[in-house]
Amino acid sequence: MRKLKTKDVFAFLRVATEAGIRREIRALADQIAEAGEETDARSIGFDLIFSCLDHLGAKKAEGLVYEFLAGPFEMDPDVIAEMDLAEFGETATKWAKEYLDRETLRSFFGSLASLMK
């Protein structure tokens, strides 16, 4: 597993465009920018997940989600697609704990917001 990189911003932009979630991401990025040091990365992450689940469940976005996760998880997209749900949850949790921090999240969504304007 690895930290988020610049290329992940563009991979996620493709997912956001295909899934139609640009507005949700932009609102969360604005929320992070306004909150500054008071930003709760975990809370923002959950907000993103719950506000975008409907959109990301669209068949046309599914493959792009696997491709996006394949980068930070350093796994083949097909492996992620076929992963047991409990294993996926453990992998995602481990990745978030080890590689995501407040500054990384702020930077990632800040980059998304600036590219979506």
pLDDT tens profile 63-114: 999 999 999 999 999 999 999 999 999 999 999 888 888 788 778 877 777 7
State the average pLDDT for the chain: 83
**Is a pLDDT exceeding 90 seen at residue 21?**
no
Q: What is the largest CA-CA distance in the chain?
A: 39
Residue with tokens 């492996």: 79
Counted domains in the chain: 1
Please give the pLDDT value at position 68.
92
Domain for residue 101, yes or no? yes
Distance, CA of 89 to CA of 84 (rounded, Å): 9
In a domain, 1, yes or no: no
Any domain includes 74: yes
Closest CA to 48 of 115, 85, 100, 99: 100
Percent of the chain with pLDDT over 90: 28
Residue 45 domain-assigned?
Answer: yes
Domain that holds residue 52: 6-116
Residue 37 Cα distances to 31, 34, 74, angstroms = 12, 9, 30
